[in-house]
Structure 1
Amino acid sequence: MMGFLVAGSASGVGKTTVTLAILAALRKRGLVVQAMKGGPDFLDTTHHTRVSGRPARNLDTWMMSAEANRACARRASAGADALVVEGMMGLFDGKDGASETGSSAEIAKLLGLPVILILDGSKSARSLAATLLGFELFDPHLQLAGVVLNRLANDRHFALLRDAITSRCRTPILGWMPRAAEISIPERHLGLHTADESFPDAVALASMAERHLEIDAILDLKWECEQAPAAQPSMLATKSRVRIGVARDRAFSFYYEDNLDLLREHGGDIVEFSPLNDSTLPGNLDALYLGGGYPELYAAQLGANLSMLASIRGFAQAGRPVYAECGGMIYLGTSFTTGDGENHPMANVLPLHFEMTDRLVSFGYVTVTVTKDCHIAPAGTSLRGHSFHYSRISKRDNLDNAFGLEYSLSGGRENEGFLFQGVLASYVHLHFGSHPEVAERFVNSIREASLILG
């Protein structure tokens, strides 16, 4: 099948815009396209999903094993004509500076995907050829299949860069893209706006790609997709299913789609609800999963929805299992002070007060050692996740901790993973694919609680 990875020379060169334009052009030609994002990103995938019409997934060679990544790509691409993976940061950027671990290059080589490299040519002339030459020489085992020059001024600018590149480099030029307001996506402190907030015109994206990119040459990029193993008979058919309420709206949207799939696979039915717009929780829920997002942008509306806050609080106080990450944990706190200094009431489940900060806190990959048995893993389990937030705990009562955290970039360590009644909450976004038993244990713990609580 057709497949490739779109990479950049650095962050901010326009990978997402070019990826969306290619997705739109392929769909316009009638292809079924599966989009995926390399790395721990929740925002780009919302745009991929909107253009492709299929839920986008995440690949991550640091958080998940090689086989878990391969299996994810196999499952996601079933029934598709093409797999389009958008990389993260620069092509060779990953967990550290000494290896390719966690990089887009590692994903491309692991899956055998050809790479389309995006170069920002907005302020460049002949020197851009030297940049491309460096990428060609850096890793001879990587299949660099083409380059797209982004944010160019006009045809003359492209001709100048084309002549420089073809005189010194071997990588085919697959076209160029202009800087255009109609296909740009606004950004804020955590990255791009979500697709629900601001989304470029898909027709304009497809038109731009057809006009400026070599779509026929891109269609020739092949991926040797491994066949998925035959499905094995499951014991789950004899087990009761559980209903897991998942908060999903503009305030809460940061979920790895595979986390939800793994919960479904092990017997969880996902029931979405909106803390912003619904007055109470859906009926007959057995557990809650509160993901991250932008509670800081909607704190006043969240705090004013008193009936939903009371519903969440009553659910948690009944001892029902609740798993919360980052923004979901903030929502369970006593209150939240936003960047304008306003204090907003939250669900008052956890004795924690949160406040916004003016800089990133504890950013990067995180190794989680489970120090106390909890919903998702027994003590001693090692999990992997990612931390990315502009807030902190400013006031707290003593709470039990279930996690010992080690941050990959800073090397810092702390105790976290707060346990209170039936709640497990953390700033860390865990990928359940980092350990094969997480989703199964979570669903089983929900079943056990339901038997006890009725």
Structure 2
Amino acid sequence: MSRPAVLIAGTHSGCGKTTVTLGVMAALARRGIVVQPFKCGPDFIDPSLHRMVTGRASRNLDVRMCGADWVRRTFARHGASEGCAVVEGVMGLFDGGEGSAATLAKTLKLPVLLVIDVRSAAESVAAVAHGFATLDPDLSLAGIICNRIGSDKHRNMVAAALQAHCRVPIIGFLPRSEEVHIPSRHLGLHMGEEHPLRGEGLERLIHLVEQHLDLDLLLRIAGERRDVPPVSDAPLVATGSPVRIGVARDAAFCFYYEDNLDLLREAGAELVLFSPLHDPDLPPDLHGLYLGGGYPELHASQLSANSTMREQIWAFAASGRPVYGECGGFMYLCAAILDHEGACFPMIGVYPFVARMQTRLRSLGYRQPRVEHDCLLAPAGTVLHGHEFHYSTIDADGADVPAAYRMENGASEGHVHKNTLAGYIHLHWGRTPAVAERFVAACRKAGCGREPF
């Protein structure tokens, strides 16, 4: 029997699908339903909001980055067997090709609820809905949510047009409300831990959803999802002694794919969370470090001031123990971060680079780096998969640091110093789960015959 699930998509970015998704998740959870959240695409920020309202880790489902089989595996493993899985789309429903919400919906046979921003439109909304419903006959457009209704008269005009020209059920009409607006941040939306839509704001959103959306109809649609053929789900087998890997996790380092952390655990790692912002020392008895992405530039002063932590991570890397850093973690491993005002904040100094913040986005998109030389994560010849987005650039000042990867455009990436590997790309290991085994094995080997750090 298939698990109840829906995918909430939008006609375009900015139509309100994240707000609607959060409201639906929170309202269903308020009913006592176990809501398992997912996010279409490589984004880290929306999953943090999902966790905020459901209390459960949200997982990324990205056919382009991870492959269809991995997406089916992740969804089968973590879909709520006794509740409802709610998947948030990305951009517009059909945007993104292989990485689109439409591709994901067809891969998992998910019924789609389409959020339409009806501000400044009335009868024309029916044409939009009809177009989305008929563009791809293999897609199940199962419901419409009209967002930003201005008045009862506006609602009645839109409803009449939809009922006359589109056979897709209407889930409801959400009124305009600045009280539940989600402000943006330079890399996207605010993270869940610091989000302004908490407390009273979230309560107002739940009330709007309960009052204006037919949640019973939504649940019936979710329960009618078709079966998906089973996929192989052979977990990694841990071999050898257990290892302890320190994972930096706080407001500065909060971008991790949950699947990567799962793979490390399957490979035999105990993950020990620590905060470079607040902890004076590294956790004891570590064999390796994983420094994820996030917002180190927003916390550069505090990170720099925590000199004992910086010194201990430098010594850990200098000892030859494995350290892996991504994006924000890579910036932290550099000699300094230079902010927009020109202030310079010393960092760890494993790499003789300065990470310089820019006012515009410097890189965005999927990446497939090829490993040129055997490294911490993979042997030469391996093609890795991930996503890159950052506002900083690296001032190398002539420093000659070996690189492990070659990008599609010929550029070098993945900087190597002893047993430390770091770069801008956020890798997802779904297509290459052996990465986790290799990282854990390197931690085990580095700790063999000597005390953990």
1:232 to 1:346, Cα distance in 2 relative to 1, 3 A: closer
Q: Quick one: which of 126, 131, 135 aligns to 2:132?
A: 135
What is the identity, as a one-letter code, of the residue corresponding to 2:256?
Y
8 Å Cα contact 1:338-1:356 kept in structure 2: yes
1:344-398 CA-to-partner distances (Å, cap 9, x unmatched) read 1111111111101121112100111111111111000011100111010023411
1:199, distance to aligned residue in structure 2 (A)? 4.2
Are the aligned partners of 2:363 and 2:391 in contact in 1 as well (CA < 8 Å)?
no
Secondary structure of 1:298's match? helix
- Structure 1 position 104, deviation (Å): 0.5
Letter of the 1:18 counterpart:
V
Partner of 1:54: 56
1:74–1:226 Cα contact (<8 Å) kept: no
What is the one-letter code of the residue matched to 1:56?
Answer: S
- Residue 435 of structure 1: aligned partner: 432
Cα distance in 1 for residues equivalent to 2:242 and 2:120 = 57
Structure 2: which amino acid aligns with 1:320?
R
Structure 2 partner of 1:2: 4
Q: Superposed, which structure 2 residues align to 1:74-89 within 5 Å?
A: 74-89=76-91
Query: How far apart are 1:205 and its partner, in Å?
Result: 2.4
Change (3 A) 1:226 1:264: farther
- 1:206 offset after TM fit, Å? 2.0
Report the counterpart of residue 32 of structure 1 in structure 2.
34
CA spacing shift, 1:214–1:163, aligned 2, 3 Å: same
Residue 351 of structure 1 corresponds to which residue in structure 2?
352
Q: 1:166 aligns with which of 156, 159, 163?
A: 163
Q: CA deviation at 1:452?
A: 5.4
Cα distance, 1:225 vs structure 2: 5.5
Whether 1:275 aligns to 2:272 is no
Query: Structure 2: which amino acid aligns with 1:449?
Result: A
- For normalisation by structure 2, the TM-score amounts to 0.94
For residues 68 and 234 of structure 2, the distance between their equivalents in structure 1, rounded to whole angstroms, comes to 21
* Residue in structure 1 matched with residue 46 of structure 2 by the alignment: 44
Could you say what secondary structure the match of 1:360 adopts? coil
**Structure 1 residue 33, shift from structure 2 partner:** 0.9
CA gap 1:235/1:416 in 2 versus in 1, 3 angstroms: closer
Q: Deviations over 1:382-428 (max 9, x none)?
A: 1110011101002341111111112xxxxx44111100111100100
Give the equivalent residue in structure 2 for 1:262.
263
Q: Report if aligned partners of 2:147, 2:173 keep a CA contact under 8 Å in 1.
A: yes
User: Partner of 1:325 in structure 2?
Assistant: 326
The runs of 5 or more residues in structure 1 that have no matched partner are: 95-99, 407-411
- Tell me the SS of whatever aligns to 2:114: strand
The whole-number CA distance in structure 1 between the counterparts of 2:226 and 2:82 is 13
Q: Which residue of 1 aligns with 2:176?
A: 179
123-132 or 106-115, larger mean C-alpha shift: 123-132
Aligned to 1:103: 100
**Alpha-carbon deviations, 1:42-93, whole Å to 9, x = none?**
0000110111121110000011121110010011125441111001111111
Name the structure 2 match of 1:387.
Answer: 388
**Which structure 2 residues correspond to residues 207-222 of structure 1 after superposition, within 5 A?**
207-221=207-221, 222=223
Query: Aligned to 1:196, what secondary structure does the other structure show?
Result: helix
How many residues get paired? 443
Name stretches of at least 5 consecutive residues in structure 2 with no aligned partner: none
SS where residue 20 of structure 1 aligns?
Answer: helix
Does residue 1:419 correspond to 2:421, yes or no?
Answer: no
> Is the 1:151–1:179 Cα contact (8 Å) retained in structure 2?
yes
RMSD: 1.8
SS of the counterpart of 2:173? strand
Partner of 1:97: none
Corresponding position of 1:196:
193
DSSP 3-state at the match of 2:206: helix
Whole-angstrom distance in 1 between the partners of 2:450 and 2:228: 45
- The worse-fitting range, judged by mean Cα deviation, of 381-390 and 76-85 is 76-85
8 Å CA contact retained: 2:236, 2:267: no
